[in-house]
Chains A and B, each alone.
Chain A
Amino acid sequence: MTQPPLPKAPDPPIDPGERPPPPQPPPELPWYERLNVLNVTLLLFLLAVVFSAPGVRGSGRPINYWESFSRFAGGFFPPDFSITGETLLALVETFQIAVMATAFAIVFSFPLAVMGAQNISPRWVVGISRMTMNAIRTIPSLIWALIAVAIVGANPLAGVIALTFYSMGYLGKFFSEAFESVDVEIARGLRAIGAGAVQAFQHGLWPHAKPLIWSYSLWMLEYNIRSAAIIGYVGAGGVGVQLYQYQEYYDWQKFATVLLFILAVVTVLDLLGEWVRSRITRKLRKPLAG
Chain B
Amino acid sequence: MSQDIFVVAEHLRGTLADVTFELLGKGRELADATGGALVAVLLGGDAAALAGGLGIADGVVHVDHPSLAEFNPESASAALVEVVAQRSPRLLLVANTSMGMDLAAAVAVRRDVPLVAYATDVALDGDALVATSQLYGGKIYTESVLDGPSSVVSVLAGSFPAAAGKRDGSPTVDAIAAPADIDTGRIEFVALDEPEGGDVDITAQEALVCVGRGIQSEDNIPLAEALAKALGGAVCSSRPIVDSKWLPKTRQVGKSGVKVAPKIYVTLGVSGAPEHIEGMKDAELIIAINTDENAPIFEYAHYGVTEDLFDVVPPLTEKLES
Q: Do A and B bind each other?
A: no
A contacts, CB < 8 Å to B: none
B contacts, CB < 8 Å to A: none
